[in-house]
Amino acid sequence: MAQDEVALVTGGGRGIGLAAARRLLHDGFRVADIEVNEKALDAARAAIGQNESRFLALVGSVVDSEAMSSAVERITQQWGRLDVLVNNAAVNRPGGLSTQVESDWDAVLSVNLKGPFIASRAVAETMKAQGSGSIVNIGSIGAAGLGASPAYAASKAGLIGLTKQMAYELGPSGIRVNLVAPGVTTTDWVERNLGPERIQSAEKAAPLRRVGSPEDIAAVIAFLASSDSRHVTGQVISASGGAWMP
C-alpha cells in the first residue's frame, strides 16, 4: 500500500481513467484528476464517494501548458509531493487514409501525443527534486494499426517512442516511464461505438478469449505506479488478452 503518495490522472472522469483513480485510491494514494469536461468530473466525484477527502478534481486541458503547470502547483501545495502521473486523456476520430480530415488528425495528435509530453514536462521537475516518480502512459494496441484510424495509430505509436525517450532521460533522476497498451476494453465509449458484434469478434480473436475491463487495465497501472515495479522502465505492456504481443 502506498503511504500517502500522490497520483495525477489525466482524463480520470470515466472509463480507464476513472478505474485507475479508484484503484490508486484503494491502494493508498491521494489522487488528483484533471479533466476538460466538468460533467465527467462531477461523475467522478460521485463515483469516488467516501474517498472524497483524498480526491482532488481539477478542470483543465492536457494540451494547455499553463493549466498543467497550475495543476501541479495546486497538487504540491495541497499534498506536498507528486509521485505518479497517469497520462490517460485521449480522443479518437474515425476515418481512413483517404477519409480522415486534417482537423481530426491535428486534434488526435494534439491530445494523444502532445498532451502526455506537456503533462510529463509539468511533473518532471517535482519528481526530479524528490528523486523518484513513475509516469504511466496509456497507449493502445492501435499503435500496431489493427483497424485504428491513421491519426489514432500514429498518436499511440508516437507515444511509445516518447515513453522510451523519457525513460532514458529521466531514469538517472529515479523516474520510471512505462506504457500500458490496452486492447478492446469495455468502457462506455467502446460499448457505444463498437457494439456487441465487434466486441464479441474481439473476444474470439484474442488468445485469452476475452476483452478487458477498465479494472483489468487499472491493475496494470497500479503495478507500474507501485514500488513493485521499481526495476521496470521503458516498457510497453500489452494488456489485451494477447491480441497484440509487441
Is residue 152 annotated as part of the catalytic site, yes or no?
yes
Lowest mean pLDDT among 157-161, 175-179, 205-209, 231-235: 205-209
Q: 239 with 181: CB under 8 angstroms?
A: yes
Q: Which residue is catalytic, options 29, 105, 117, 152?
A: 152
As a whole number of angstroms, the longest Cα–Cα distance in the chain is 51
Model pLDDT for residues 18-48, shown as the tens digit of each residue: 999 999 999 999 999 999 988 888 888 888 8
CATH class of 6-239: alpha beta
DSSP for 27-42, please give it.
Answer: TT-EEEEEES-HHHHH
Q: What does the block give as the cell for 53?
A: 477527502
Residue 84 has a pLDDT of 98
Q: What are phi and psi of 242, to 5 degrees?
A: 90, 5
User: What does the block give as the cell for 244?
Assistant: 497484440
Per-residue pLDDT of 228-243, as tens digits, reads 999 999 999 999 999 9
* Whether pLDDT at 127 is above 90: yes
Closest CA to 244 of 175, 178, 183: 183
